Amino acid sequence: MGVRQIIIDWLAAGRTKNEPERQTDAYPQSWGWWGRSGNKQPVPKRTPTNLRTLSESPIPRRAINVVKDGITKLNWSVAAIDENDAEKYQELCKIIERSLLKPNPSDSFRSWLEQIVEDMLVCSAGSTEMLKAGDPLRPFRMYPVDTFSVDLHPDWDGKPDTYRFAQRVNGKYVHLTASELMYIRMNPRTNTPFGLSPLETVWESANNFIDSHKSAGNQTKGTFLRKILNLGKTADSKAVSAFRSFWDSEVQGQGKFPIIGGENPSVLDLGATDDKALFLEWQRFLIEIIAISFGVSPKKLGQTKDVNRTTAESEDEDTEATVQSIAENIVEHINNHVIDGIFKMGGVIEFKFLYATSLKDLKTQADIDAIYLDRRTTTPDEVRDKQGKKALPNQHGEVLLQPSKIAVVDINKTQEELAEAERAKAVPPIPSEQEDELNKEDPNTEET
């Protein structure tokens, strides 16, 4: 601590700090070796290799891709929150969009987003190093980082200029502040600085599925009869050897139909010989558990049993809700780290994803809007604003509609011009014959 900092602290000693010191511990449980938490060392995430390997198995990989593809296909935009400021900040929005489209020399926005979502679903968080650049057209860079290589300081004091993260590189730590690393956690909790990924919650079920899948594969690949032939009470070792020779040469060798004799021969089953031997129902159950953990429809993972139109629509809605929830988490961090952190334009400009609305939801919303318009509680411009459309020209959308008064209106004319035209129509014109009669002079009148 230098002399300058000592003087600043002394001057600020009697004043209330802008960022007060908290009195509670962020993570009260013990950290470090032997239950000690005073070593001030960053804490690593556990079991990275196992989770990475598990994410490469078929069913978890499919669940990851369902969520990841749902997010990466979304359109997005950077725009002013207030439409009246759209033209004012149009150039700045273009600069931010240009930087996001090419976050670093080797990634596009889609490839960057895929890596972030992958780590969120597998490692419990997506990590990105944030760097300011001297290029005025692309003033910042974003580099995706392996989240399993990032350790966290559980004793971080919440200040933006103190170290919160540390990456392990060749046995050494690269310490990073909260503003230098975008760390998007899944399921943040108070008992640990780490998040919780869907793959972690389904760890045991996914491992059980892999084991049962391997067992079924081994049984299918190395087939054997789960039966024992009992030649009867009178069969001795010579009879058994003779029968085995007969079976090898005549039945399996030449394909002849086996015929045997003896007293009370029988066949004993050693276990299930149908699909139950492969534990297919157990595998289906585990697939449903994996789907629940990732918040996607089991149908997306190849489960078509007991699926009808009603359940399919409901499960698709659940999948869309999961996609939007994770996408909004990413939106919040981009707005905090880029829009507000770098450009200091939080609350003025926003990054947002544009979610596609299903036809069913569109029809439902249209029916609701029609009811409000009919009851004169909503104006057409308010409905158009929810649809992302501009207001009608000349303030035609600011009036309440009257259902009993339906007429064609020229929206290129103002309300005053239309009112003047209505008044002109209300005054009946004088017929031409009456006008000629009025203009005709009376012959009995004399000039004075």
Contact of 102 with 110, CB cutoff 8 Å: no
Instruction: Give the per-residue pLDDT at 106.
Output: 94
Span 242-266, mean pLDDT? Answer: 70
Q: Residue 145 forms beta bridges with which residues?
A: 127
pLDDT at 61 over 90: yes
Q: How many CB atoms lie within 10 A of CB 293?
A: 19
Q: How many CB atoms lie within 10 A of CB 355?
A: 12
User: Which comes out higher in pLDDT, residue 68 or 305?
Assistant: 68
DSSP 3-state helix, strand, coil percentages of the chain (rounded to 5)?
Answer: 45, 15, 40
Pick the range with the lowest mean pLDDT from 11-15, 210-214, 344-348: 11-15
**pTM score over 0.75:** no
Span 224-241, mean pLDDT? Answer: 72
Pick the range with the lowest mean pLDDT from 80-89, 171-180, 231-240, 421-430: 421-430
Instruction: Give the per-residue pLDDT at 341.
Output: 93
Instruction: Give the per-residue pLDDT at 359.
Output: 72
Name the strands in the sheet holding 125-132, side by side, starting at the edge strand that comes first in the sequence. 140-145, 125-132, 181-185
Residue closest to 353 by CA, chosen among 74, 118, 95, 96? 74
The structure tokens listed for 281 are: 């129902």
Instruction: Give the per-residue pLDDT at 34.
Output: 42
Contact of 287 with 59, CB cutoff 8 Å: yes
Span 299-315, mean pLDDT? Answer: 68
CA distance 290 to 297: 10
Task: Kindly report, residue by residue over 74-128, the tens digit of the pLDDT.
Answer: 999 999 998 788 889 999 999 999 999 999 999 999 999 999 999 999 999 999 9
340, part of any domain: no
Q: Which domain holds residue 254?
A: 227-269
Instruction: Give the per-residue pLDDT at 33.
Output: 43
Please tell me whether residue 54 adopts helix, strand or coil conformation.
helix
CA 91 to chain centre: 29
Task: Kindly report, residue by residue over 381-414, the tens digit of the pLDDT.
Answer: 888 877 767 777 766 667 776 665 556 556 666 7
Q: Provide CB contacts within 8 A for 371, sequence distance 6+.
A: none
Range among 40-54, 159-173, 232-246, 268-282 with highest mean pLDDT value: 159-173
Q: Which of 212, 237, 269 is the last residue of a domain?
A: 269
Q: Residue 77 forms beta bridges with which residues?
A: 352
pLDDT at 65 over 90: yes
278, part of any domain: no
Please tell me whether residue 187 adopts helix, strand or coil conformation.
coil
Find the angle CA(238)-CA(239)-CA(243) to the nearest 5 degrees.
120
392, part of any domain: yes
The structure tokens listed for 262 are: 């003896």
Residue closest to 45 by CA, chosen among 150, 117, 132, 199? 150
% residues pLDDT > 70 (the chain) = 66
Contact of 162 with 156, CB cutoff 8 Å: yes
Instruction: Give the per-residue pLDDT at 281.
Output: 74
φ, ψ of residue 281 in degrees (nearest 5) = -65, -40
CA distance 171 to 340: 34
Q: Provide CB contacts within 8 A for 230, sequence distance 6+.
A: 264, 265, 266, 267, 268
Q: How many domains does the chain have?
A: 2
CA 404 to chain centre: 46
Task: Kindly report, residue by residue over 30-42, the tens digit of the pLDDT.
Answer: 544 444 444 456 6
Residue closest to 335 by CA, chosen among 153, 107, 78, 47? 78
**Quick one: pLDDT band at residue 247, thresholds 50, 70, 90?**
confident
**Residue length of the chain:** 448
Q: Which of 269, 286, 321 is the last residue of a domain?
A: 269
